[in-house]
Amino acid sequence: MTLTTARLVPAVLLLGCASATAQAVTPAFPADHHQLTKTISYADMEAFLASVDGKGPVHVSVEGTTTQGRSVFLVHASRGGAPAFRILFYAQQHGDEPAGKVALLYMIRDIAAKPELLPADVDLWIMPMMNPDGGEAGTRRNGVKADLNRDHIVLEQPETQALYRVVRRVRPHLAVDCHEFTRDSDERKTRGWTAWPDVTMDGVNNPLFDPAVIVASQRWVDESDAPEAAAGHPFLRYTVGGMPPDEEQRHSAPDIDGGLNAVGMYGGLSFIIESAVMRGASAPSGDLARRVDAYLVLFWRFVNGNGHRQEDLAAVEHARQRPLPAFIPTNYLWVNPGMTVTEFPIVEAATGRVLKVPTANMMTVMAVKSAVPTPLAYAIEPKAAADFKVLLERHGIPFEELTAPRTVRAEACTLLRIEDEFDDVYSRYEGRQIVRREEPAAHELPAGSLWVPLEGEAAVRAALVLEPAAMYGPYQYPRFRKLVIPGAPLPVLRIVH
């Protein structure tokens, strides 16, 4: 769907996706999610999960423990046999964005009570509350003030480590990350506006990913408009950025810029959903029921497959077997190549009217500005090996530790500088590493160096995490920043022969 064809949907009555048939359990939240007036606390979630554990196909376990001692729960539901399609939902990485968790608990309740709601070919995994410390405190960040959705490259936090343990073990074909955005942000309020969509979604679009997976993901995004409209929810493909018509708007998706959700590196379809919350409302959860309802529309569509399960499976299998392409993109950004004018929908707060604001600053095409030839392998110098070993193990990237020196032909990359400010010209995240790639030369790798081959299903994430010529990498984080100095070579070599 494009913005110009977005349909205006009257706010008709909300429709649930699954009937409220759970008599078996009596959770501490309303039987009908339309009656929700407050979010579900960690304690109520914990009691509810204990009550559904072992009911129907539902099994509950603890995957991790937060720094404040709370559990990161994992729910598994499968009707037996060898289900072919593995789905992972995870929610509330940001503690103050609870709607995805609440919707997932309703879905778990319904599957526990009525197992036939879960298709027999689906292996369902759910982490409903990634950040219970932040959730209980009402903060975006976790118990040690880390933003979990900026931690996906280095995985320093117990919550993100738990997530990626599940990702490595389950290898989901489809993963969904759940967030919320502020409908009545200050930028909109000063113009007398509120956001139009109830819910937005985007899929993977990193230019290194298999195009088959990007196409399959975008089909889900495109086809979400009609079912959300039928349930009374305005839907848009996810955008971030400033206000139309003067400031840039762009798509943003699971990617590794800034350490955002990077589950897509593991070859599956991967999505981000953001529902719209009215933060300035007199009752803070006044629109929670509406957000949860919009979430449930998307969740049940993913579970039910909506007619393209086989295409999705084929795309993911292809992606996981595809060798790396001949080039690795190192600098890419969203652009509007033809100065297309987009009518951006926004709500006039005073009247509720939907305005269509024409803008030529809506960036919808991913452009690659530079790329480097794909090397044969990467090598990491011994003094950085300990830190990189942790990183490689956390992402399940195979490597070899050299026990004897090895002579190779390799390219070093000299770090020119790290840019720690948001890039106002190109609208890009901070932490950009600016490097110069040197001419290939003979290098002797000492014993103790790490050797990372670029083959197999881990090659994509090895390239995304290690490629020294890339604009984004691990050096934006303190553990790796301490290993580098401007003017000196980065600790990762590109092996070319």
Sites of contact with Zn ion (CB under 5 A): 94, 97, 179
Q: How far is the CB of 116 from Zn ion (least distance, A)?
A: 33
CB of 18 or CB of 262, closer to Zn ion: 262
CB of 94 or CB of 443, closer to Zn ion: 94
Angle 459-466/382-394 helices, nearest 10 degrees? 130
Q: How far is the CB of 358 from Zn ion (least distance, A)?
A: 29
Structure token digits, residue 490 = 């980065």
Q: How far is the CB of 480 from Zn ion (least distance, A)?
A: 24
C-alpha distance from residue 109 to each of 27, 54, 56, 59 (Å): 9, 12, 10, 12
Q: How far is the CB of 272 from Zn ion (least distance, A)?
A: 9
CB of 48 or CB of 429, closer to Zn ion: 429
Q: How far is the CB of 241 from Zn ion (least distance, A)?
A: 16
CB of 97 or CB of 210, closer to Zn ion: 97
Dihedral of the alpha carbons of 351, 354, 360, 366, in degrees to the nearest 10:
130
CA–CA distance, 16 with 405 (Å, rounded to integer): 64
Q: How far is the CB of 424 from Zn ion (least distance, A)?
A: 23
Q: With CA atoms as reference, report the closest residue to 417 among 428, 403, 430.
A: 430
CA–CA distance, 21 with 91 (Å, rounded to integer): 24
CB of 178 or CB of 214, closer to Zn ion: 178
250 neighbors 237 (Cβ within 8 angstroms): no
Q: How far is the CB of 108 from Zn ion (least distance, A)?
A: 21
Residue with structure tokens 């997530």? 163
CB of 131 or CB of 249, closer to Zn ion: 131
Question: Quick count: other Cβ atoms within 10 Å of Cβ 262?
Answer: 26
CA–CA distance, 206 with 227 (Å, rounded to integer): 27
Dihedral of the alpha carbons of 217, 222, 228, 229, in degrees to the nearest 10:
180
Residues in the chain: 497
CB of 94 or CB of 290, closer to Zn ion: 94
112 neighbors 59 (Cβ within 8 angstroms): no
Q: How far is the CB of 279 from Zn ion (least distance, A)?
A: 13
Q: Which residue is nearest to Zn ion (CB)?
A: 179
CB of 55 or CB of 101, closer to Zn ion: 101
